[in-house]
A = this chain, B = another copy of it.
Amino acid sequence: MVTTIDDAAGEASDGRRAGNPYDADCPTRLILDRIGDRWTVLLVGSLGNEKVRFSELRRRVAGISQKMLTQTLRQMERDGLVTRTVYPEVPVRVEYELTEAGLSLRGPLKALEEWSIEHLSGVLEGQKAYDGRETVAAR
Of the candidates B63, B77, B115, the one whose C-beta lies within 8 Å of that of A35 is B115
Contacts of A115 in B (CB 8 A): 2, 31, 35, 104-105, 108
Copies of this chain, tallied across the complex? 2
Q: What CA separation (Å) do A77 and B12 show in the bound complex?
A: 36
**Binary flags per residue of A2-38, CB closer than 8 Å to B gives 1, else 0:** 1100100001101011111111110111011101111
| A62 lies within 8 A of chain B by Cβ | yes
| A68 lies within 8 A of chain B by Cβ | no
Contact indicator A31/B126 (Cβ below 8 Å): no
Contact indicator A124/B62 (Cβ below 8 Å): no
Contacts of A21 in B (CB 8 A): 38, 41-42, 113, 116-117
